[in-house]
Amino acid sequence: MRDLPPLNALVAFEIVARSGSVRRAAEELAVTPGAVSRQLRLLEDHFGVALFVRQGRGLTLTPIGTTYFERVTSHFDGLRRASALLHSSSGRAVLRVRSYTTFATRWLIPRLSQFQLAHPEIDVRLTTASEWSDLGDFDAAIRLGDGAWPEFDVSPLVANVLQPVCSPSLFQRMGIANASRLSKQNIFLVRARPDDWSLWCESAGVEFASLTRRKELESSALAYLAAIEGRGVALAQTVLVEDELRTGSLVPAHDHAFDRGRVTYYLVSDQRSRKREPLSRLRRWLAADGPEIE
């Protein structure tokens, strides 16, 4: 075994080399980017060579790193095939699913729990990420967009209705919920959904430029939390704040709601997947109450 490199470091190397991203490797391994970087340095120290060079904010394989990756990746593919065969022979199908973090915690996880109880023969393993990337090794994923992806099987899951929300205390301070009062509040923009506020404003007849107190946050989850704490107004996907609207911890900050129509959350999977039957069951379960989109 002394001839083998540290196996955790080798796994990190293979994922970074395959995806081109330390961040994606960290998400796949459920560790921090710093932990992945330390594993890469450990592997380079083991061999005494540089396997990557940094270019801008990314990493690129060196020539020797490229050669090493080409040699080891076939072995990882073999391990994946062997594992898939073992899973299939055990009589329990395994579905690896990736989702945006906020959508997973607020909508998907409760439904997956119910699905698992109804289908104990299917093991769903969920990974969350802050943004969409290719399916990779996943069997299915949640993707936000217009559904025009001919390479995938797609099913719309929810109506994507946007409405400003805030805490009851802030609403009382605002008084009448109109555009002029809205312009005096902190407005939370979400980095992953940069166009939502401008699209809502256009549909509501509100000048986006009048909303000058803009604060950019990393995720919708942070925007909702800041709104609940009374620090400003979030533009919510109403399906994701149903509990808060029902309990009253959030209230509409404006009476206009904007349905983005085809642009919503979809379950996507590879049309050529060998797991079509369990995927079909999952698709029917999650899309049972999905919107009718023409």
What CATH number is attached to the domain comprising 116? 3.40.190.10
pLDDT on residue 258: 93
Within-domain flag for 292: no
Does residue 276 carry a pLDDT above 70? yes
Task: Output phi, psi for 50, to 5 deg.
Answer: -90, 125
pLDDT on residue 200: 93
Strand pairing class (140-145; 93-100): parallel
The DSSP output letter for 50 is -
Within-domain flag for 187: yes
Q: What is the CATH number of the domain that holds 69?
A: 1.10.10.10
Q: Where is pLDDT greater, at 74 or 144? A: 144
pLDDT on residue 27: 81
Report the run of H or E that residue 137 belongs to, with start and end: none
Structural contact between residues 231 and 186, judged by C-beta atoms closer than 8 angstroms: yes
CA distance 153 to 169: 44
pLDDT on residue 1: 43
Q: Which of the four pLDDT bands, split at 50, 70 and 90, describes residue 236?
A: very high
Domain match, 255 and 270 both: no
Torsion-angle region of 156 (φ positive above 0: left; ψ -120 to 50: alpha; else: beta): beta
Mean pLDDT of the chain: 85
Does residue 176 carry a pLDDT above 60? no
Q: Lowest-pLDDT range, 28-42, 70-84, 190-204?
A: 70-84
Sorted by sequence, the CB contacts under 8 Å of residue 252 that are 6+ apart come out as: 163, 164, 165, 177, 245
Within-domain flag for 291: no
In tens, the pLDDT along 62-92 reads 888 888 888 888 777 777 666 665 555 455 7
Does residue 93 carry a pLDDT above 60? yes
Structurally, the chain folds into a number of domains equal to 3
Mean pLDDT of 140-168: 92
Within-domain flag for 293: no
Q: Where is pLDDT greater, at 55 or 150? A: 150
Q: What is the value of pTM for the model shown?
A: 0.67
Sorted by sequence, the CB contacts under 8 Å of residue 142 that are 6+ apart come out as: 97, 98, 99, 100, 103, 104, 108, 157, 265, 266, 267, 268
pLDDT on residue 241: 92
b/e per residue 60-88 (b: at least 16 CB within 10 A) = ebeeebeebbeeeeeebeeeeeeeeeeee
Domain limits at 40?
Answer: 7-87
Does residue 16 carry a pLDDT above 80? yes
In tens, the pLDDT along 237-266 reads 999 999 999 999 999 988 899 999 999 999
pLDDT on residue 85: 59
Domain match, 144 and 268 both: yes
Mean pLDDT of 185-193: 89
What is the sign, positive or negative, of the torsion defined by CA atoms of 72, 77, 81, 84?
Answer: positive
Domain match, 66 and 137 both: no
Within-domain flag for 294: no
Strand, helix or coil at 156?
strand
Q: Out of 31, 57, 87, pick the residue that ends a domain.
A: 87
pLDDT on residue 177: 55
Does residue 53 carry a pLDDT above 80? yes
Within-domain flag for 195: yes
